[in-house]
A and B are shown apart, each in its own frame.
Chain A
Amino acid sequence: MIPKEFSLSGKIAVVGGAGRSWLKELASYLAEAGADVALFGQDEKQMAAAAQAVQKLGRRAITVPTNVTSYREVEKMVAAVLGQFGKIDILVNSFDLQFAKPLIEVTVDEWNRVMATNLNAVFVGAKAVGKHMLERKEGKIITISSGLAERGLPNSTAYCSSKGGVIQFTRALALEWARLNVRVNAIALGWMAEGAEAQEGDWRDLLTRYIPVSRLGQPDDLAAALVYLASDASSFVTGSTLYVTGGLMAHG
């Protein structure tokens, strides 16, 4: 039996994606729990597939092409979603631009692009949607980060900084809005089966052996974590990070 606290029936979720964002899967999990879903981002093919998956589950879906780093565009997206659905209960910020390069070779432009997608977009989304949530005195914001927020890795200064920033953003905003009934939490991913770091054969095997549970992560591993944080099941949880990393964070 699925505990009733996990239900999202009657809720409106907005899911933003850029880079490696698992838009289709994240939207499907929310829809399966009962939510209608609005998708925003620039990858229209990915958004269409996500919307189709939501509709297949019998829920409503809309897509709003949006530059996720532009506050003005995200504000317009919020207006469009409110016009269509009337409210927003849940915001999921799933932005993941992967990037790895020796620091000496990283250009200022590259650094700024990683920060813009992975961190600035989280700020932009939370501000634009959070404004509406504060007016309604209700909301849940979920950010997607990485175990690399808490661990270092060579050639990953920009990526690690951006993901660490997401978790600190989550904690700080959680405290800012703790008494306004808007909860802010993060999900941190480990090494995923689908992703740039896992595509080359040798690395894939090496990482798989290194992970305590001996396998790479799948989007389905995130399903219940996402719905938990989006639903009343987590009513006393704010500022927390749920690491779904196959045990990696327990490593020394």
Chain B
Amino acid sequence: MLEKLSLDGKVAVVTGGGGGLGTAISLAMAEAGADIVVTDFRPEDGERTAAKVISVGRKSVFFPADVTKSDQVNSMMAKAIAQWGKVDILVNCAGIVREEQVKPFWEISDFEWHRGIDTNLTGAFHCSRAVAKHMVDRKYGRIINIASGFGMRGRRNSFMYNTAKAGVILLTMSLALTLSRDGIRVNAVAPGLFQTWGPRERYDAAAPFIPMGRVGQPSEIGPLAVYLASDASAYVTGEVFSIDGGALFSGYAPVNYVPAIPIEK
């Protein structure tokens, strides 16, 4: 059964492919046999990922696109489909993980709101829309949306990110139901905190609040992406799978609260 995890002969488009998780997902899928179209708005980062994919023996190209601009997404996707004749897998990994500037809720500008929603939610819509018809025509497709545990939980002073990620989860569910009879599966991954960019100290400070006591390494998300992209998950669609060291179902009490209550006689 496990040979179904193979992605031999598949073509995947990874948005945000130059970022920490996007790079790890691209490499994991390449090692499982897929050729990778890397897209990102940061050319140096995207080119670096494509070079890494080539170094593990698969084909890869980089096409720049800003996922908030549908014309750029449409032309990127057309080039991706033309490159090797098809796209089997789309991974929507583009997003801004930058902390939103903490300010009173009533001072959030239109620009800040739209930038957060456009990058983290509308980008996934643009990319999925650009490839969906192609996938329906071929009766084959897998879309993996990178959501977040914060798409299912609130957080003080975090509005655009949490709201957009919640939107990604519902986009996943509705698109999964819409395309479930066309051979297309749509699933989401909800990562917790992964060590991607920024100072080490930031992650060290966060680790004690995660049940497993550590942050995730980007390479740890790869196998999950391979599973969801492959035929090994043929009966899985519309799902959100968390990969977070246990974080999603903690948060009901401080992490070091360990109650002990005997049954009364």
Contacts and interface: CB of A to CB of B under 8 A. Distances in A.
B46 interface: no
B244 interface: yes
B176 A247 contact: yes
A223 interface: yes
A243 B239 contact: yes
Contact of A233 (B212, B217, B223): B223
Contact of B237 (A175, A212, A220): A212
Interface stretch (B81-89, B111-119, B246-254): B246-254
Given A3-B223, A179-B212, A244-B236, A174 B2 contact: no
A242 B250 CA distance: 17
A152 to B, nearest CB: 19
A3 B1 CA distance: 14
Interface string A201-245: 000000000001111011011011101100001111111101111
Interface of B: 1-8, 28, 31-33, 172-174, 176-177, 180-181, 185, 192, 211-213, 216-217, 220-224, 226-227, 230, 232-239, 241-246, 248-250
Contacts of B174: 250
8 contacts: A1-B31, A2-B5, A5-B222, A171-B249, A223-B232, A239-B211, A247-B180, A250-B239
The 7 A-B residue pairs with the shortest CB-CB distance, nearest first, are A250-B238, A224-B232, A233-B223, A178-B211, A223-B1, A212-B180, A221-B235
Contact of A6 (B5, B177, B213, B249): B5
Interface in A1-46: 1-3, 5-6, 28-29, 32-33
Given A3-B31, A171-B249, A250-B173, A32 B2 contact: yes
A243 B187 CA distance: 11
Contact of A236 (B31, B185, B216, B249): B216
A187 B206 CA distance: 29
Which of A178, A212, A217, A250 has the most chain B CB within a 10 Å cutoff?
A: A250
A213 B192 CA distance: 29
Given A3-B32, A223-B232, A236-B243, 8 more contacts: A32-B1, A175-B249, A179-B212, A224-B4, A224-B230, A236-B221, A247-B176, A250-B239
B6 A1 contact: yes
A115 to B, nearest CB: 18
B55 to A, nearest CB: 16
